Structure 1
Amino acid sequence: MQITQASLTDLEQIVAIERAGFTPEEAGSRQAFIDRINHFPETFLVAKVGDTVLGFICGPALVGDVIEDWMYEPGVKSASHPSSVMVLSLAVAPANRSQGIGSQLLTALSKVATNLGCRQLTLTCLVNRIPFYERNGYQNHGVATSTHANEVWYNMIKPL
């Protein structure tokens, strides 16, 4: 398995994995992923075997501590002097779950974030995912202000 930057040739597989991992209300659209690949390619990574995408992680490098709903809007680009990588999505194909791929993607993005001069990675997740992120070094910072998909999200932060 290799972890590399995503490209538009990976798009259809990325969208399929996103739809398999999130409800229709939670999932990013095809256009959102085109925008993300184009606007923050350095922090949009895919795990692949050959041409097959097994999973991906993406989010802009910005100034701030927690994810806010506007970060999911079109046109968001990474900042020139970011403090955090804001993980908007981490998803692994159903057939490849429970193999450590999500953890490897988090580790790879941590290295990218460190190289960009960031002091942390931050994300929001549903309550059932908190243990996974805690095992990967993230700390629970309580309920997020996000109203995305009418869910209760939790702020998770990993200091670098």
Structure 2
Amino acid sequence: MKITTAKPADLSQLMDIERAGFTIAEAATETAMKQRIEIIPDTFLVARNDDQVLGFVNGPVIKPRYLTDDLFETVMPNQKFGGFQSVLGLAVDPKFRHQNIASQLLTELSKIAKKNCRDGITLTCLTRLVGFYEQSGYINEGQSSSTHGGEIWHNMVKIF
């Protein structure tokens, strides 16, 4: 397995994994996913075996500490330095879960964020995933104001 940046040719596989990992209300649209590949390629990472996509993590660099719902639909280019690396999506193909792929993707994203002098990484997650992120060094900073997908989300932050 290797971790690379996403390519336009990955879109179909990325959408299959997105739909398997999130409800219809939570999942990114194909248009949003395509925009992320085009606009933030440096922070859209893919775990792969040759041409097979195993999982991915993506998100833009933002100034605020916490994600806002508009980020899921509107992607802006990453600023060169500073800010928080956000995670809009982290998903692994169901056939390849429980193989440490998600953790490896987060580790690689952390390396990129540190290299670019980010303040940290910010994301939101469902209650059932808080423990996973805490094991990766994220702090649960309470319930998010996000109503994305009609769910209750937690603000998770990892400061460098």
The separation in 2 between residues aligned to 1:44 and 1:152, in whole angstroms, is 25
SS in 2 for 1:121: strand
1:124 to 2:116 alignment: no
CA distances 1:31-59 after superposition (whole Å, capped 9, x unpaired): 11100011111000000001000000000
Could you say which residue in structure 2 is the equivalent of 1:147? 147
1:74 to 2:74 alignment: yes
Could you say which residue in structure 2 is the equivalent of 1:107? 107
Question: Which AA in structure 2 matches 1:140?
Answer: N
Could you say which residue in structure 2 is the equivalent of 1:136? 136
* Preserved CA contact (<8 Å) 2:5 2:41: yes
State the identity as a percent.
Answer: 45
TM-score by length of structure 2 reads: 0.97
Could you say which residue in structure 2 is the equivalent of 1:59? 59
TM-score by length of structure 1 reads: 0.97
* Preserved CA contact (<8 Å) 1:127 1:154: yes
Could you say which residue in structure 2 is the equivalent of 1:6? 6
Could you say which residue in structure 2 is the equivalent of 1:93? 93
Please, which runs of 5 or more residues in structure 2 have no aligned partner?
Answer: none
* Preserved CA contact (<8 Å) 1:120 1:158: yes
Please, which runs of 5 or more residues in structure 1 have no aligned partner?
Answer: none
Could you say which residue in structure 1 is the equivalent of 2:19? 19
Q: How many residues align?
A: 160
CA RMSD of aligned residues (A): 0.9
Q: CA deviation at 1:64?
A: 1.6
The separation in 2 between residues aligned to 1:60 and 1:95, in whole angstroms, is 27
The separation in 1 between residues aligned to 2:15 and 2:127, in whole angstroms, is 24
Structure 1 residues 129-138 or 74-83, which shifts more?
Answer: 74-83
Question: Which AA in structure 2 matches 1:86?
Answer: S
SS in 2 for 1:117: coil
